[in-house]
Amino acid sequence: MTATLIWILVVLVAIGLYLSWTAGRLDRLHARIDAARAALDAQLLRRASVAQELATSKVLDPAASIVLYEAAHAARQAEEEQREVAESELSQALRAVFADVQQLEAVREAPGGEEAARELTEAVRRVPMARRFHNDAVGAVRRLREHRKVRWFRLAGHAPFPMAFEMDDEPPSALAGRGT
């Protein structure tokens, strides 16, 4: 009788340790999402800031400046529910303005333009990477939260179900082929 109780106790402790380890892993993954989201937000803000700065520098033609400024301003001011749409519109505006390599060359020829073009190229390239890291972290949490043990024992606690950040982040062709 004592041996049976000891084995039951050992099994219960092992199950408890496993559930505790799983809950800790889930917590670490949620922290990873938070860090990845902060990095994504920083890259999106950097891209919008560089685009807005470029739009106000009087290097671009007036129509391109207005389009780029309005899209960048809307992306910076967007509420969380509209952020994906606003960031996609900024991507579209960047592609429209820099669809032609000559526009980028005009920026490079202006005083300080080489630095501005380099900053824009870096910002445009970093957004898809940051979004991919965020969405990979979201996918890992979702896969773990789909397991029965996580649902049955409510190991996720009150953490909201993570959502991927879906946006159009294709870089302009003039910026995609250039070195940083």
| Interval 6-59: pLDDT, tens | 999 999 999 999 999 999 999 999 999 999 999 999 999 999 999 999 999 988
Q: How confident is the model at residue 177 (pLDDT cuts 50, 70, 90)?
A: low
Contact 136, 88 (CB under 8 A): no
What pLDDT, on the 0 to 100 scale, is given for residue 101? 85
Radius of gyration of the CA atoms of the chain, in A? 24
**What is the average pLDDT score of the chain?**
93
- Contact (Cβ atoms closer than 8 angstroms) between residue 94 and residue 68: yes
Between these two residues, 111 and 33, which has the higher pLDDT value? Answer: 33
Percent of the chain with pLDDT over 70: 98
Angstrom distances, CA of residue 16 to CA of 43, 73, 148:
40, 51, 15
Residue 157: pLDDT band with limits 50, 70, 90: confident
Phi, psi of 91 (to 5 degrees): -60, -40
Average pLDDT over residues 129-140: 97
Exposed, middle or buried, 162 (CB in 10 Å: 0-12/13-18/19+)?
buried
Confidence of residue 180 (pLDDT cuts 50, 70, 90): very low
Token readout for 135 is 């969405």
Q: How confident is the model at residue 87 (pLDDT cuts 50, 70, 90)?
A: very high
Residue 16 to residue 18: CA distance in whole angstroms: 5
Q: Kindly indicate the confidence band of residue 90, based on its pLDDT and cuts at 50, 70 and 90.
A: very high
Question: CA-to-CA distance for 165 and 149, rounded, in angstroms?
Answer: 27
pTM: 0.89
Name residue, tokens 């979201």: 138
pLDDT at position 122, please? 95
Percent of the chain scored above 90 by pLDDT? Answer: 82
- Which of 39 and 111 is assigned the larger pLDDT? 39
pLDDT at 178: 47
Give the mean pLDDT of 86-98: 96
Q: Are 117 and 106 in contact (CB under 8 A)?
A: no
